[in-house]
Amino acid sequence: MNRVICIVLGLIIMVMQYGCSKKSEETTKRSYYLSYSELSVYAFESLDICNGLKINYRVQGNLNGRDIIFIHGGGDSQGTWDSWVDSLKDKYRIITFDLPGHGLTDPLPGNDYSISKFVEYTEIVVDRLNISDFVIVGHSFGGETAVNYVLKNPGKAIKMVLLAPGGFIQENEREASKQMVGLTDEQVKQYFFPEFTGTKMEFKKGFKDYYFNMSNMTEETLTRLYNLGRYKKNRGAVAQFNINHLRNDKDFDNLHLINIPTQVLWGKEDKIVVVETAYKFKKGIKNTEVILYDNVGHMIHEEKPEKIISDAVSFINGKNQ
């Protein structure tokens, strides 16, 4: 399996190179995948949108507090923000949701997965839940989504916090794109993203590049990702999103249009999006604060939550940012 392509995958797809199934019997797959009812612990409120599609979302915390909307990264789900919710819920009204094809939000028709679709879903959540004067927070592809949302909707968010955001193509991604030339999407899936039907411990091995210290991946996080990665309705969605990303995404060239205070937080040991990328955001967005953290990888919001939440709250509450 091509290592160059694997390194750029979202959390669920990244692990497919480990324990790739030799057990191709349909009975094995049927027993591996889970239904919505079997995953009901991860189901919260349901927001109906066009064509019968539903967004799985949650509103928590102080309903009279300032709104903060959180956007998770590719292959993840809204549960990644649980420790942040616990820390912020006394003061803020917190909105989380699963992106399309992620968690328990419905997949998109026609495999139309892109950052622009993620932005569209963010717009739906903001508008339908009457979110205003809010802070927008995003991790990885969720950070790229937040930036694109702010660019498309000036005057909506008042501050932005980005944790190891996407938006600038990495060198390994450029190489992976070249490897895909001449292949159909189905061929790419077949060659590089075979369906995973392995054990939870085999699944865990795929996260070694996402954490500086694997002990920071809690059992609760592993179980959530493993279970939701088996949701039958969304299988293949994250693979398709990553294929679309590799084929179509380009570097930001319009960050100078953002005029809200922005905080960029990055782990110095990030192997997925290199830390030097932080300074591209600082150069592009006029009012930007960058904080780097020692001994932290790509899952920055999970590796040192207390320190990083403290820095984010100081920024959110600051009056002169």
How many separate domains does the chain show? 1
The Cα–Cα gap between 277 and 41 comes to 37
Res 319: pLDDT: 67
Q: Convert 131-165 to b/e letters by CB count within 10 Å (16 or more is b).
A: beebbbbbbbbbbbbbbbbbeeeeebbbbbbbbbb
Between strands 93-97 and 54-61, the pairing is antiparallel
Tokens, residue 198:
């392995």
57 within a domain of the structure (yes/no): yes
The letter for the amino acid at 192 is F
- Per-residue pLDDT of the chain (321 residues), as tens digits, is 333 333 334 433 433 433 444 444 455 566 899 999 999 999 999 999 988 899 999 999 999 999 999 999 999 999 999 999 999 999 999 999 999 999 999 999 999 999 999 999 999 999 999 999 999 999 999 999 999 999 999 999 999 999 999 999 998 888 888 989 999 999 998 887 778 889 999 999 999 999 999 999 999 999 999 999 999 999 999 999 999 999 998 999 999 999 999 999 999 999 999 999 999 999 999 999 999 999 999 999 999 999 999 999 999 998 644
Contact 227, 42 (CB under 8 A): yes
The answer to whether position 321 is within a domain reads: no
pTM: 0.91
Range of the domain at 123: 3-316
The pLDDT of residue 26 is 57
Task: Give 85's contacts (C-beta < 8 A, 6+ positions apart).
Answer: 60, 61, 94, 96
Residue 295 lies in a domain: yes
DSSP string, 102-139: STTSPPPGGG--SHHHHHHHHHHHHHHTT--SEEEEEE
pLDDT value, residue 5: 36
| CATH number of the domain enclosing 99 | 3.40.50.1820
